C-alpha cells in the first residue's frame, strides 16, 4: 500500500483514538466512577467488544453518514476525520463527554461547503432528529428500568456481599454490550468518510470467509478506539461517572444498559430487516451520540428521583459542548481544506460534473419534469452540484423531489464495462443472475449512473429496486449497495 495512503489514514486513527478516549466514558464511566469496576478491567473489556462490534455490525450506520456527503478524495477524507478528531480532543481535554457523531457531521458539512457539494437535507434532518430522540429515548428507557430493578432487588433481598458481586458482574456484562454497540454504531464516525475511497480490497480466509475491505478499514479504526480507551479515557469516565450526578452501583448499571440499548437500536441491520419484513416502521440506521445517550439516561434517573442531585451547571457545560462541537468542526474542516489544497497542493475533492445532455433531457421529458424550462442548460457542463442547482433555480421552480431527480439524472459518472475488470468482480456477492446480466454489458460505456442501472434492470429483474415501502427498504438498500460497488469498480476518468 502507498505510504501516502497510510499517512492519510492516520487522521481516522486519531479520530478513533479520540473516540476511545472520550466515548469509553459512556460505556464504563458510571462503573468506574462508582468504584465498582477497576479502570484496567473496563479498558480491556471495552477494547475487545468495540472491535467485535465495529467489524461485525459496523456497516449499517455508515450508510446514512455516507448519504450526508460522499467525501470522494483521500486527502479530503483525511482532513474531515482530522478536523473532527481535533475538535473531540479539545473537548476531551476539558473533561467534557462530547459527541463524536456531531463532530464528524460538522466536518462533512464543512467539506460539502468547500467542495460545492450539496448536503442531503433528508439525511441531515434524520441525523438531527436522532440527536433529539437519542437522549430522550435513553431517559425513557432508564427511568422505568431503574424503578423495576429497585423493586426486584427489594423483593429478592440479596445479602450485601452477594449483591455487590452480582452488581459488579452486571456492570461488566452491560459494559461489554455497550462496547459492542458503541463499535457497531460509532465506527461510522471514525472511518465512514474513508469508505468511498477505501484503499483495501476484499480477500478470502481459507476459502470460507470473506474479509471485506470495509471490515478491514473498520478493524484498524476499532483498534485505534481501543488504544484511546487505555491511554486517555479515565478523566472523562470520572466526569460522567461522578460529576454529573452521584450514582449508586445499581443506577450505574441501568445507565449503561439504557445507553447500550439505544446505540444498538440505531445500528442493528438485523433489527431493521426484522421490522421491515413484518411491515413495521424501521428505526433509522444512524451513528447516534453515545454521549447524549448516557447523559439522557443519567438525567432520566435523576428526574425520577426528583432532580435534586443533578449538577445542572455541569449539564449546561455538556450541552454547550454538544451545540458548539459541529460548528467548530465544520469551520476547522473548511479552513484546513483551504490550506491543504492551496498550500500543500493536495486534491481534497474530485469535481463531480453535471450536464443535461440529450439523454438526460429525454429522461426529464419522460418523467414529466419541465424540460422546456431547462432547455437553455442543455449540454452545458457544471463543475459542482451547487453550481448546477443554482443554474436550474434561475431557469425554473422545482419542488424538492423534482430537484433531486434533475440532480440525479444530470450527474456524470462515466463507467466502462471492460472484460479485464469483469474478471475481478465479486460474483458470489452479486449473485449468479446479476453477474450474468452484467456480463451481457461487456464492452459498453455509460455516461450517467442511471443508464447503467436501467441497462442492468432490462437484463434482469433482480437489478430492479422494488416499490418504496417499509417491507422493501432493506432489499432496495442492498441493490443500491451493489450498484455503488459497480460504479466504483468500473469508473473511468473524464
Is 356 within 8 Å of 379 (Cβ atoms)?
A: yes
Is 292 within 8 Å of 335 (Cβ atoms)?
A: no
Per-residue pLDDT tens digits of the chain, which is 494 residues long: 566 677 878 888 888 888 788 777 778 876 787 788 888 898 899 999 998 988 887 765 555 666 777 888 888 989 998 998 888 888 777 766 677 788 889 999 999 999 999 988 888 888 888 888 999 999 999 999 999 999 999 998 888 889 889 988 998 999 899 899 888 888 877 887 777 667 777 666 666 666 777 788 888 988 999 898 888 787 767 665 556 677 788 888 898 899 889 988 887 777 777 777 777 777 777 878 887 888 899 899 999 988 887 888 878 887 888 888 899 999 999 999 999 999 999 999 989 999 999 999 999 888 888 888 999 998 899 999 999 999 999 999 999 889 999 999 999 999 999 999 998 887 877 889 999 999 999 999 999 999 999 999 999 999 998 776 666 777 887 888 789 889 888 998 75
**What's the CA gap between 10 and 412, in Å, rounded?**
31
**What's the CA gap between 145 and 254, in Å, rounded?**
7
**What's the CA gap between 452 and 457, in Å, rounded?**
9
List % helix, strand, coil for the chain (3-state, nearest 5): 70, 5, 25
Helix or strand (DSSP H, E) at 255: helix 249-265
Please tell me the predicted confidence (pLDDT) of residue 206. 64
Show the beta-strand stretches assigned E in 149-248.
203-205, 209-211
Chain center to CA of 75: 19
**CA distance to 112, 349, 353, 354, 387, per residue, from 384 (Å):** 10, 11, 6, 7, 5
Helix or strand (DSSP H, E) at 55: helix 39-57
Please tell me the predicted confidence (pLDDT) of residue 238. 66
Residue 366: strand, helix, or coil? helix
**What's the CA gap between 59 and 247, in Å, rounded?**
34
Please tell me the predicted confidence (pLDDT) of residue 2. 61
Please tell me the predicted confidence (pLDDT) of residue 90. 83
The pTM (predicted TM-score) of the whole model is 0.82
Please tell me the predicted confidence (pLDDT) of residue 439. 96
- Could you tell me which of 233, 230, 214, 191 has the C-alpha nearest to residue 13? 191
Amino acid at each position: 500500500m502507498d505510504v501516502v495512503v497510510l499517512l492519510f489514514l492516520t487522521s481516522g486513527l486519531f479520530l478513533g483514538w479520540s473516540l476511545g478516549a472520550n466515548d469509553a466514558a459512556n460505556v464504563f464511566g458510571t462503573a468506574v466512577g462508582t468504584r465498582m469496576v477497576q479502570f484496567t478491567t473496563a479498558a480491556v473489556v471495552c477494547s475487545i467488544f468495540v472491535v467485535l462490534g465495529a467489524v461485525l455490525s459496523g456497516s449499517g450506520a455508515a450508510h446514512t453518514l455516507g448519504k450526508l456527503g460522499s467525501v470522494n478524495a483521500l486527502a479530503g477524507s483525511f482532513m474531515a476525520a482530522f478536523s473532527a478528531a481535533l475538535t473531540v480532543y479539545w473537548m476531551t481535554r476539558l473533561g467534557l463527554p462530547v459527541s463524536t457523531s456531531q463532530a464528524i457531521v460538522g466536518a462533512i458539512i464543512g467539506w460539502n461547503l468547500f467542495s460545492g457539494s450539496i448536503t442531503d437535507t433528508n439525511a441531515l434532518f434524520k441525523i438531527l432528529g436522532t440527536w433529539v430522540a437519542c437522549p430522550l429515548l435513553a431517559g425513557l428507557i432508564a427511568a422505568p428500568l431503574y424503578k423495576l430493578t429497585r423493586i426486584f432487588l427489594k423483593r429478592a433481598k440479596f445479602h450485601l456481599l452477594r449483591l455487590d458481586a452480582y452488581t459488579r458482574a452486571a456492570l461488566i456484562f452491560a459494559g461489554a454490550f455497550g462496547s459492542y454497540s458503541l463499535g457497531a454504531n460509532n465506527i461510522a464516525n471514525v472511518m465512514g468518510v474513508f469508505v468511498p475511497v477505501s484503499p483495501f480490497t476484499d480477500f478470502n480466509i481459507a476459502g470460507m470467509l470473506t474479509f471485506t475491505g470495509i471490515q478491514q478499514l473498520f478493524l484498524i479504526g476499532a483498534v485505534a478506539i481501543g488504544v484511546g480507551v487505555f491511554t486517555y479515557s479515565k478523566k472523562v469516565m470520572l466526569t460522567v461517572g461522578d460529576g454529573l450526578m452521584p450514582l449508586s452501583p445499581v443506577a450505574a448499571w441501568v445507565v449503561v444498559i439504557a445507553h447500550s440499548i439505544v446505540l444498538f437500536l440505531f445500528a442493528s441491520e438485523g433489527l431493521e430487516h426484522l421490522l421491515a419484513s413484518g411491515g413495521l416502521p424501521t428505526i433509522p440506521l444512524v451513528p447516534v451520540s453515545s454521549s447524549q445517550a448516557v447523559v439522557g439516561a443519567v438525567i432520566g434517573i435523576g428526574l425520577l428521583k426528583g432532580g435534586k442531585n443533578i449538577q445542572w451547571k455541569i449539564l449546561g457545560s455538556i450541552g454547550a459542548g454538544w451545540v458548539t462541537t459541529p460548528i467548530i468542526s465544520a469551520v476547522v474542516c473548511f479552513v484546513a481544506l483551504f490550506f491543504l489544497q492551496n498550500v500543500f497542493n493536495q486534491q481534497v475533492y474530485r469535481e463531480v460534473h453535471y450536464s443535461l445532455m440529450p439523454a438526460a433531457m429525454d429522461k426529464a421529458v419522460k418523467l414529466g419534469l419541465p424540460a422546456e424550462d431547462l432547455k437553455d442548460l442543455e449540454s452545458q457542463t457544471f463543475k459542482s452540484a451547487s453550481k448546477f442547482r443554482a443554474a436550474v433555480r434561475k431557469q425554473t421552480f422545482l419542488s424538492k423531489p423534482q430537484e433531486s431527480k434533475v440532480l440525479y439524472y444530470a450527474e456524470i459518472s462515466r463507467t466502462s464495462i471492460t472484460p479485464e475488470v469483469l474478471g475481478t468482480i465479486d460474483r458470489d456477492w452479486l449473485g449468479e443472475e446479476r453477474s450474468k446480466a452484467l456480463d451481457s454489458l461487456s464492452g459498453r460505456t455509460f455516461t450517467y449512473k442511471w443508464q447503467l442501472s436501467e441497462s442492468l434492470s432490462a437484463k434482469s429483474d433482480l437489478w430492479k429496486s422494488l416499490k418504496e415501502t417499509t417491507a422493501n427498504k432493506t432489499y432496495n438498500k442492498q441493490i443500491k449497495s451493489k450498484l455503488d460497488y459497480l460504479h466504483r469498480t468500473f469508473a473511468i476518468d473524464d
